[in-house]
Homo-oligomer: A and B are copies of this chain.
């Protein structure tokens, strides 16, 4: 009988404990959605974020895990293996949320990993390799764009100083926020940035409708679609709304609308696979009776097909330039990630664990972006999805049942033991 089907391990995963921890964390930054749903707004590197981290650390210390942080604030909770020198299995996700976020996106992957490790220890299951639970810094990119800074720095995809000058809405830079954060966590053990894990496995709610619609318990994630993010700045000239003739204006808002119209045409996809979003707009001086001289907007473009991602992404700037009438335009690509495929070493372990536990599973790609994206070049990587109601996420209405989350944690525990004994 393999470790992954050990009944004492599966029984040791506590649905109630995992749920209670999630609900306790959901109090930190609690908000109420427009439909009355209880959501969370907990941006990275804030006092709220640190409060949540301290809570998780207290649980980890109660279990006897070794706590450490690296220079970009990634938090690690280490369960020792029988061979402490062996490359560890890494598992986790992120603790920050969208401004209008839910109670499960990210944080469940951290709490599920903690639950799995707790079950492994309480069940007396031995693993050769250490298992490290990680909470990555700034996955969401809601306060400081782009997201996934913590995993990007860990994977040496970018240096940890790459985003020093990125500022939030209040003008605080990422560097300032990170320095303050590290000062507040100076009592925690420090570890060098990066590492060479044996494997990485991340648990996450699906954030899409497929598992629920198809009645599945577990998503065996095959890969992540590619993403390209842009910031567009349209620069015209302020003018008096009452006197300046419309024909002579250099109106940044109107040229932004022209650009979005042209992009909508470029991004039309009858198959509904392509994702194109303008989610953020800033206008200056932003007063009702002055023609705007500046309009900035973001583009979030994703597709699972590499060729289409490259072709349509490269067409964004010329499309905008053709569309605007009288303003100057700057188009900056601030993030470019090609589609990735996960490793059979990990996806097979997840599939085997789901099968052994009699859970209905579905192999599917991830529509959302995840820290796992950046682990792919570093080590065999995979993800576990659980269903979420109507596929809603980045919204307080985001919801998965305690039972769905417990099933995910059980599969995670078994797959981790499997991987950690290879």
Contacts and interface: CB of A to CB of B under 8 A. Distances in A.
Interface of A: 34, 98-100, 140-142, 145-147, 169, 206-208, 225, 227, 229, 235, 237-247, 251, 253-254, 257, 260-261, 264, 269, 272, 274-293, 295, 298-300, 302, 366-369, 391-395
A169 B247 CA distance: 30
Contact of A284 (B100, B235, B257, B285): B100
Contact of A288 (B261, B264, B300, B368): B300
A281 B280 contact: no
Contacts of A254: 260, 264, 278
Given A147-B289, A242-B369, 17 more contacts: A98-B287, A99-B290, A100-B293, A140-B287, A141-B287, A141-B288, A229-B289, A238-B394, A242-B302, A254-B260, A257-B264, A277-B291, A279-B283, A279-B288, A281-B286, A289-B300, A291-B394
B244 A272 contact: no
A277 B247 CA distance: 12
Number of copies: 2
A284 to B, nearest CB: 7
A276 B243 CA distance: 10
A254 to B, nearest CB: 7
Contact of A100 (B225, B290, B391): B290
Contacts of A284: 100
Contact of A142 (B207, B257, B287): B287
Chain A binding site: helix, strand, loop or mixed by DSSP?
loop
A257 B275 CA distance: 18
